[in-house]
Amino acid sequence: QVQLVESGGGLVQAGGSLRLSCAVSGHTFSSYFMGWFRQAPGKERTFVAYISRSGAGTYYEDSVKGRFTISRDNAKNTVYLQMNSLKPEDTAVYYCAADRTEGIARMRAGRYLEVWGQGTLVTVSS
């Protein structure tokens, strides 16, 4: 059974950077399309970024374009989210998700994805 474990969250000042990691175990990592989501306090979980199985294709939610970068290392079974120029409104629990069905729309919707991680908290102070 596939398991996802996020790490790298923490407290950072506005304008700072963090890199989140999501380690995948239990199955062939390269079979999965991967995504990052976040859930701010009192709000619903929302899509942040998507990466294709090869890593050649990426897609971002508008508010993070130009600041966040999703990448993956299929040899290390890990997907990353590099977050730069962080803002207080980026404060949230960040989750990674994996799915073997192709489609950015499917990933963005987030409803039927196969596997989720447990989340890692990112707090951005002003």
Q: What confidence category does residue 26 fall into, taking pLDDT thresholds of 50, 70 and 90? A: confident
pLDDT at 20: 98
CA angle 14, 110, 107 (to 5 degrees): 90
pLDDT at 27: 74
Mean pLDDT of the chain: 96
d(CA 32, CA 28) in angstroms, rounded, equals: 8
Q: For the segment 32-65, what is each residue's pLDDT rounded down to a tens digit?
A: 999 999 999 999 999 999 999 999 999 999 999 9
**67 forms bridges with which residues in the sheet?**
none
